[in-house]
Amino acid sequence: MPEQSSPLDLAEGDPFGPHNLPYGVFSTPDRAGERRVGVRIGNHVLDAGAAALALGSPYAQLLAQPDLMALLSAGRTAWRDVRRALTAWVTVPAHRTDIEPLLHPLDTVTLHLPYRVADYVDFYASEHHATNVGRIFRPDGDALTPNWKHLPIGYHGRAGTVVVSGTDVVRPAGQRKAPADPAPVFGPSVKLDIEAEVGFVVGTGSEHGTPVPLADFREHVFGLSLLNDWSARDIQAWEYVPLGPFLGKSFATSVSAWVTPLEALDAARTAPPARDFPLLPYLDDADEDEPGGYDLRLSVAINGQVVAEPPFSTMYWTAAQQLAQMTVNGASLRTGDLYGSGTISGAEPAQRGSLLELTWNGRDPLELPEGKRTFLEDGDTVTITAWAPGPDGTRVGLGEVTGRIVPTA
């Protein structure tokens, strides 16, 4: 009989090869109540805690856990050392006897939110997105607000409604008032939208009262995930003056089940767009040792039909600048903090990361196989995928984030 291939023998170019190794949390049908830290390799999940115990690893205490919190809080040196160990476990032939029984096919496991979200902040960092939104809502005024190129604009969201990919999203209800309406009405949102984003996951916290400088970004941020910041545009438009987003955003934010460590994305580092405004010193990254941007290629699909391909490399404000802005007033970081990049949009119409832009606030409907779309209908499924350049010409796959819209409860 022919020798059976190992799950560790991946096809050439697999975006989830040993150069990637994103972290997640999973359970299996036979142990449904037990959540375990897993690492994705190809189309399998390695039980990382069981592997550490089987191999007598000193990192078993960090990996034999029900979530990623212990690993996140361990700090950058531990993150690097654990990643090196995992790479050896899935590549060194001598480990195969121990490792192969601990691999679970991806389609047989349940994936869970991999960390406990402490605080959630969302930014507004794409110049193309901000310009488009300004032109839609202020056609006779300046597209960008006066502060936009001086600081990364953001708001605090609701950490308790961050959900893992695959969770249904209930259409939110709330007050809305169109400009011509005599009074507000209450009911389900009729302008439910998506925002294709990247979320950054904080590992080690910081001391209250001590800002985090640009140079310390990698000391605090463990990795990133794809993120969909669902938005009820009609609710948002009525409520957001003067204090900003509230119920139009807080009903759900979906994140990928996989967190890609920053080390896996070293080959994707790239310079951000040229700045045409001088920056205050705490945001000025001109002399930083490594470029602050990431070359991530996103794809947004509605019911399987690709509607946009936003490029993350065009983001005006970097993740390091966002972290510096978040803490410059002395606000502290906590393990499990999550912050979103803001909607990612490029210069071309097909690179816009929201339906607000893609349809120009409903003026130009999208043509999908099942009918036209201005905003999301009940039953629609939105899936965001992405990849980044990896070492030696490889690709690093980012775990998808998907959600299906269900009717108002």
Catalytic residue numbers, as ranges: 129
CA dihedral over 326, 327, 330, 333, signed as positive or negative: positive
Tokens of 87: 């790479």
Which helix (DSSP H) or strand (DSSP E) does residue 338 occupy? strand 338-340
C-beta of residue 358 within 8 angstroms of C-beta of residue 186: no
C-beta of residue 375 within 8 angstroms of C-beta of residue 190: yes
Distance CA 85, CA 222 (A): 17
Distance CA 218, CA 210 (A): 16
Tally helices (H) and strands (E) across the chain: 10, 26
List beta partners, residue 223.
Answer: 201, 261
Distance CA 3, CA 1 (A): 6
CA atoms within 13 A on the CB side of 162: 28
Q: How far is CA 103 from CA 48, 108, 109, 397, in A?
A: 9, 11, 11, 19
Specify the amino acid at residue 379: G
Instruction: Count other C-beta atoms under 10 Å from residue 171's C-beta.
Output: 20
What is the DSSP secondary-structure string of 32-76? EEEEEEEEEETTEEEEHHHHHHHTT-TTHHHHSSSSSHHHHHH-H
What is the DSSP secondary-structure string of 73-134? HH-HHHHHHHHHHHHHHHH-GGGHHHHGGGEEEGGGSEEE--S----EEEE---HHHHHHHH
